[in-house]
Amino acid sequence: MAKVLYTANAHVTGGRGGHGRTADGELDVNLRVPKEMGGEGGGTNPEELFAVGWAACFESAIAGVGRRQHVDVGEVVIDSAISLLPVGDGGFRLEATLDVSIPALSDRDVAVELIRGAHEVCPYSNATRGNIDVTLLLDGDAL
């Protein structure tokens, strides 16, 4: 068995119209249905939290892959989009887009290799692999 490196704990009440707080109190958010879905807005939602979490994790994965390949990636910027779509039977599915920019790298092939490598090691990528459609972009262009 692998040793657990870290466990995040959170407490949520009220679902999409409630409140969420991490056990350490560092994240304390009102959850609201977005206006685009007929809600009142005024808070965050699971898709936004997922988008932020995956982008942050993916950036760390790029940096880690870069270190292993002795490539200084510098500052990496990721614009992430998590889309919620109905599946027709009352259920929903997600789609994701990660648009990566690595300004310190002028070699597109190296940047693409790092992004693909990060997609193999990022825990979010591994958790969603085969479950949702994921589009990876470099500066807005498909890999």
> In which residue ranges of the chain is CATH 2.20.25.10 found?
1-44
Q: Which two three-digit tokens encode residue 20?
A: 């969420």
1-44 domain in CATH 2.20.25.10? yes
Number of other residues whose CB lies within 10 A of the CB of residue 71: 19
Tens-digit pLDDT profile for residues 21-57? 999 999 999 999 999 999 999 999 999 999 999 999 9
Residue length, the chain? 143
What is the rounded average pLDDT of the residues 130-135? 97
DSSP-assigned states of every residue in the chain: -PPP-----EEEESGGGSEEEETTSS-EEEB---GGGTS--SSB-HHHHHHHHHHHHHHHHHHHHHHHTT----S-EEEEEEEEEE-SSS-EEEEEEEEEE-TT---HHHHHHHHHHHHHH-HHHHHHTTTSEEEEEETTEE-
46-142 domain in CATH 3.30.300.20? yes
> In which residue ranges of the chain is CATH 3.30.300.20 found?
46-142
Tens-digit pLDDT profile for residues 82-98? 999 999 899 999 999 99
pTM value is 0.95
User: pLDDT class for 70, splitting at 50, 70, 90?
Assistant: very high
What is the rounded average pLDDT of the residues 112-137? 98
Residues with Cβ < 8 Å from 35, sequence gap 6 or more?
41
The predicted pLDDT at position 1 comes to 87
Cα–chain center distance at 5: 19
Rounded to whole angstroms, the Cα distance separating 110 from 60 reads 17
